[in-house]
Structure 1
């Protein structure tokens, strides 16, 4: 089936980028692998792509399709006009500047697998061991990783991924380097073992302006901050993700209900967003995540290390999946900015009002005091 649009991002020109199935998954362009492969297809061939990329320009009311060798879903736009996607053990991207100049999908796209410098020579060399093979100290090692949620650390340009599986507990860092894919390098980080409640089920990931990477854990209900600058070493010769236990700070909101006779919560964190512009008044770089099953968003205030619930009491059944901060007028204080979200349930007839009820867009604004005008 074609179509199935999803996962929207808006670029600096006001165009809407989204995922779209424009062809069969197995009908890959020739440059994705095999005899006609380009440098990316030769380095790490892509056999199928379940979804591709499209954009819509409201000014011209025209759609454009961008065929990709890699599958796409959630995205992150960078300040240098790349849009990144996580896909099947790799990170892919569309260079929007190149697309605008050429409208050539092959020239505008690329991807990196996750290969760790396990032999410690400071570079990645082809002929690495594969995920189902033991680590060889003389070679580098490729790892599989989940990338349902993706973030760009604007401080150093690195790309960060977290998965969606209930057993996943890995953050993956990809560095493109100056000449990808040959200069692509990966690091993986997992929380130190021995926690009172094991951290499992990574979820939404985001990086703040200081390079701290936050993750909202879907299964165990933790919330973590990972600061790579605290690492004594990032060398990982065993590819086990335990090179930097000192980088982790682990939180857990204990004010939420749990299932009977269980430490696990009835809520589930979804995608994570960074309020870099302080649209909600809790300070710059406040992470906000969608807290499904709770009629609310959850905000973490780094300065106080407190969780703050932003609940929607009416209409009932606000089911958050994502959100985004927006500043319309920086000169009008709280009135000129806000945090936007939506009723994102698949079953909109469960929204208060019943049959015929439609999803709704929400704008959260925070007054500095209750009587502020």
Structure 2
């Protein structure tokens, strides 16, 4: 049996951001990727493109207009505009699992002991931090709704940090890594 296929390539404009890590899609079809090298979140909206293949697509730069960039919060390397946070992975909260809304992209702030949630409509960041001395060199995340009728108690986002990086945290080389559950209460006194 002979099959044919077609592929498309879209390259991140390197002058705006670089080194993609992870990919997820929101419910509107917009792709989200964390940029580990430049400490950005980038979105790609294919509906902004007019050229999808052919000779103009050979270097992947036929649709720079489809890309949007969001600089992650935090410090920069000295004498540069390059952020110091390394984003290992990302995930899009399509179903308001965390309580920040639907279609909220979240990046692992692997160098900042945090998860970084972006509201794409406002450009505002919510930083979910694991406090010292626990430490949190995050590598992966996903969400889960156990009981949709239980409000914030029935849902949460889980993130890991693995043994390959856990020696950076309290406990040193014997630290096995952990799974951390994040939940956002509607107010500080909510039970």
Same fold (TM over 0.5): yes
Shift of 1:349: 4.2
Number of paired residues? 190
| 2:4 corresponds to 1:183 | yes
* Residue in structure 2 matched with residue 240 of structure 1 by the alignment: 59
Work out the CA distance in 2 between the residues paired with 1:349 and 1:214: 30
Work out the CA distance in 2 between the residues paired with 1:302 and 1:350: 32
CA contact (8 A) 1:319 1:345 kept: no
Of structures 1 and 2, the larger Rg is shown by 1
Gaps of 5+ in 1: 1-38, 40-180
| 2:158 corresponds to 1:340 | yes
* Residue in structure 1 matched with residue 41 of structure 2 by the alignment: 223
Query: Which residue among 19, 23, 32 is the counterpart of 1:205?
Result: 23
Work out the CA distance in 2 between the residues paired with 1:244 and 1:349: 42
Superposed CA deviations along residues 238-280 of structure 1, whole A, max 9, x for unmatched, are 4121222221222212x31112122222210111111122111
* Residue in structure 2 matched with residue 353 of structure 1 by the alignment: 171
Work out the CA distance in 2 between the residues paired with 1:293 and 1:237: 40
Superposed CA deviations along residues 348-368 of structure 1, whole A, max 9, x for unmatched, are 444323464332211000011
* TM score, norm. by length of structure 2: 0.89
Work out the CA distance in 2 between the residues paired with 1:355 and 1:214: 34
RMSD between aligned residues: 2.1
* TM score, norm. by length of structure 1: 0.47
* SS at 2:153 equivalent: helix
Gaps of 5+ in 2: none
Q: Name which structure has the greater RCO, CA cutoff 8 Å, separation 6+.
A: 2
Work out the CA distance in 2 between the residues paired with 1:353 and 1:222: 30
1:152-301 counterparts in 2 under 5 A? Answer: 182-192=3-13, 195=15, 198-238=16-56, 239-253=58-72, 255-301=73-119
